[in-house]
Structure 1
Amino acid sequence: MAYFRYQAATATGESTGGVVEAADEQALYAQLRTQDLFLLSARPEGRRHHLDHRIALSRGERLEVTHHLATVLGAGIGLLTALEDLVAHAAPRQRSMFTTIVEQVRGGGDLSVALALFPLAFPDTYVQVVAAGEATGGLGERFADLALDLEYQIELRRQVRKAVAYPLTLVVAVAALVVLVFTFVVPQFAPIFEQAGVNLPLPTRVVVGVSHFMQGQWPVIVGAVVVGVGGVMVARALPGGRRLLDRLLLALPWIGALRAELAVAAIAHLLGLLYTAGVGLLKALDLTAGVVESPTYREALLAARERVARGEPLSVAVAASGRFPSLFQRMVEIGERTGELDATLARANRYYREEVPRVIESTLGILQPLLLAFLGAIVGGVALAIFLPMYRMMEVVG
């Protein structure tokens, strides 16, 4: 691998340049084309320190960097000064990355091209928003938008984890209770009932039968659980398996509605961010589809993208998929009709940012009582199965 100092042109004819690592000029040309740049000239720059493209930033770390750049650029301080400050305060494992970015920008390259060298730290959507800010001269505003986007993502993940934690705790508690009751509690009473010689009622016979099965077939039960968990993990690693699991989750009551709402919210949020920043609609649809977690909604968005590429309005394209709510379709249609699609997508972004927490809270409010009722039914059913034969034994003795 060698380093090349290059000059390139954007799709709009603007000039840009920088220093990048590539195997040869042909590889350099292919690399720049992925960023919608056209190579004009290139010359070897000589050997430099090796670029570690695997350097990554967590969402929290990326938010700190973005906040810093938004604040410094918003205050009118130069970009190089802002980047050099990042180098001075960077963690050791990230300092080489920021040093490379500073070198690229100081050499006349675009910041977006420099950020693209580190895809694990700055994903493609982030880079495209920065590139749009460079093209329009509003780089500080775009970093402010990206900071809001990252804050939203972090807060949404926190809310989802919080919403999942309590039901998951209840499920674990129910499973532990079932194991405890049927393997330790019921076996203590079963010999007493058998010695008493009373005719056991149906609930008791069912509970005793389940207890005997769990005691005698526990290797089969453990094996089935391991195979089931392993099967889900393997399915998640395969495209077809992820698609199947996603459709199963979307078909579940309440949980499916929440998953669909989260997917539409993510699409509205990212599409609004990219299009408002100045990224072309087709490119914005591509980038949004690339980061949507739901395979079903990713396919729906890519299908909509193909329809838009053929000349159909976006509102018609999303309606044809059958996956997007009518409110989202109407908002897009109004934006297209008035020529203010960017403003409409921004409003959709704000709407879903406020709506998703309400949907999470509503779904949690439904699931928690159901899980508690299920837990109570298990405890009550086992208690009834134990006390019914004891009551009959007391009648016989009496």
Structure 2
Amino acid sequence: MPTIDLSRYEKKKPPRSPQKNDRGGLMAFLNKDISFGSQELSDKKKEFLYMELSSLLQAGINLKSSFELITASQEKEKDKQSFQDIQERVLQGTAFSQALEKSGKFSIYEIFSLEIGEETGKLTEVLQDLARFYQNKVKQRRKIISSLSYPCIVLCTSMGAIFFMLEFVVPMFSDIFTRFGGQLPWITSQIIRISKTMESNFFPAMLFFASITGFLWYSRKTERFRKNFSRLLLKIPLAGNLVQKIYLARFCNSMRLLISAHIPLLRAISLSRQMIGYYPIESSLQMVEDDILQGHSLHQSLAQFSIYPAKMIMLLKIGEESNKLDYFFARISEQYIDEVEYKTATLSSMMEPFIVIFLGLIVGTILIAMYLPMFEMSNSFH
């Protein structure tokens, strides 16, 4: 079997952090696919490509004809052109994995896995594994979004209603109270004061928040920002644990896929580090690579970092001792995915009544504050 040139895939290692137990930063909450300006195909398109290609190859259709069928099925001209470029490279004799690499739309993780599949004659199996990997990733993201979308919509609607009342309704009542004169109740005067403050500072506040948003947007890829932001996020109750489980599931799933494709452990760790995009795991894996090169086991190296739970470390220890790391990575990934789905559904069901209660209290307080002077004026007339 011809050898695979690993030097083509080597990337410059980031500087080693002096603190091993540091929890690092976060570039995105759900998925890198939603980041603007990404050159790679979306997870959904990758899932479709690998699923269709593996099915066609398994049916006995050669790679050339399979890719022609997939290219012809593309509706968007941009996607069709991208696939045609890959197809032309394959027709010119370029290996399928190298054709994907030259397109710049696929991760090093996928390219290396596919090259292993080509070299070992198991391309169909690798394609099926990649299809399942992205299918699970898309499914997980959809469940999270569907669980949190309703509470978020209700919250935004609530904030919009409160803003409308403070910006338009309260000033109308304020004018009426000014014409009548007299001493206003404490709660009414406070609501009117908040409304006037918001009205006079609306545009400066919008400019301030826009500036902060712009600063965060341009700083989001710096190591310092990712490190500090993720450290802050991980300390938030419920949300921090949820984010941790999401990325641990992705890490375990990627390790399962790479190890089952017979990729050496060190190379699998390196590839996972390059494609995770989550600072606490990404920074820790660099040090894990160094520790393994010095003779430490995987579970011992991971145990140094608090981002990896003790239960996960114990399962990986059993996996190393029984030479079934891919099986245990798969089990851990499934467990974390189930936990994320359960906690997301629980968080969604908990948020809904709290948001309704919050809206009711705020709107009720504003209404009482506005009508209370009217009741007092009505009593004074009697």
TM-score calculated relative to the size of structure 1? 0.79
CA distance in 1, matches of 2:327, 2:39: 35
Query: In the alignment, what sits opposite 1:287?
Result: 271
SS in 2 for 1:148: helix
1:118 equivalent to 2:118? Answer: no
2:7 corresponds to which of 29, 33, 39 = 33
SS in 2 for 1:34: helix
User: What residue identity is the alignment partner of 1:191?
Assistant: D
1:305 corresponds to which of 282, 289, 311 = 289
Query: In the alignment, what sits opposite 1:218?
Result: 202
Q: Give unmatched runs, 5+ long, in structure 1.
A: 1-12, 17-30, 37-53
1:129 equivalent to 2:113? Answer: yes
The verdict on how the C-alpha distance between 1:358 and 1:185 changes in structure 2, with shifts beyond 3 A counting, is same
CA deviation profile, 1:249-297 (whole Å, cap 9, x unmatched): 2222222221111111111111111112111111111111222232223
Instruction: Name the structure with the higher strand share.
Output: 1
CA distance in 1, matches of 2:119, 2:306: 36
Residue-pair matches, total: 350
Which range moved further: 379-388 or 79-88? 79-88
Give 1:208 shift.
Answer: 0.8
Amino-acid identity (%): 25
The verdict on how the C-alpha distance between 1:32 and 1:273 changes in structure 2, with shifts beyond 3 A counting, is closer
The verdict on how the C-alpha distance between 1:312 and 1:15 changes in structure 2, with shifts beyond 3 A counting, is closer
> Would the aligned equivalents of 2:64 and 2:90 in 1 still touch at CA under 8 Å?
no
CA deviation profile, 1:117-144 (whole Å, cap 9, x unmatched): 2231x21111122122234332211111
Q: Give unmatched runs, 5+ long, in structure 2.
A: 11-37, 75-79
User: What residue identity is the alignment partner of 1:139?
Assistant: L
CA distance in 2, matches of 1:309, 1:367: 47
User: What residue identity is the alignment partner of 2:239?
Assistant: I
CA distance in 2, matches of 1:125, 1:339: 23
> Would the aligned equivalents of 1:55 and 1:118 in 2 still touch at CA under 8 Å?
no
Q: Larger radius of gyration, structure 1 or 2?
A: 1
CA distance in 2, matches of 1:259, 1:166: 19
More relative contact order, 1 or 2 (CA 8 Å, 6+ apart): 2
> Would the aligned equivalents of 1:116 and 1:127 in 2 still touch at CA under 8 Å?
yes
Query: In the alignment, what sits opposite 2:2?
Result: 14
1:248 equivalent to 2:232? Answer: yes
Give 1:97 shift.
Answer: 1.8
1:188 equivalent to 2:162? Answer: no
1:340 corresponds to which of 324, 334, 344 = 324
1:171 corresponds to which of 155, 159, 166 = 155
The verdict on how the C-alpha distance between 1:334 and 1:165 changes in structure 2, with shifts beyond 3 A counting, is same
* 1:371-386 alignment, distance < 5 Å: 371-386=355-370
* 1:225-264 alignment, distance < 5 Å: 225-264=209-248
Which range moved further: 275-284 or 192-201? 192-201
Query: In the alignment, what sits opposite 2:87?
Result: 98
Query: In the alignment, what sits opposite 1:267?
Result: 251
CA deviation profile, 1:168-211 (whole Å, cap 9, x unmatched): 32332233223211121111112333444443232212101111
1:354 equivalent to 2:332? Answer: no
TM-score calculated relative to the size of structure 2? 0.82
The verdict on how the C-alpha distance between 1:33 and 1:345 changes in structure 2, with shifts beyond 3 A counting, is same
The verdict on how the C-alpha distance between 1:343 and 1:359 changes in structure 2, with shifts beyond 3 A counting, is same
1:328 equivalent to 2:328? Answer: no
Which range moved further: 56-65 or 275-284? 56-65
1:363 equivalent to 2:352? Answer: no
The verdict on how the C-alpha distance between 1:56 and 1:319 changes in structure 2, with shifts beyond 3 A counting, is closer
CA RMSD of aligned residues (A): 2.6
Which range moved further: 276-285 or 153-162? 153-162
2:280 corresponds to which of 296, 308, 313 = 296
> Would the aligned equivalents of 1:73 and 1:140 in 2 still touch at CA under 8 Å?
yes
> Would the aligned equivalents of 2:302 and 2:308 in 1 still touch at CA under 8 Å?
yes
Give 1:145 shift.
Answer: 0.7
CA distance in 2, matches of 1:197, 1:85: 79
The verdict on how the C-alpha distance between 1:164 and 1:306 changes in structure 2, with shifts beyond 3 A counting, is farther
CA deviation profile, 1:336-364 (whole Å, cap 9, x unmatched): 12221122112223333333322221222
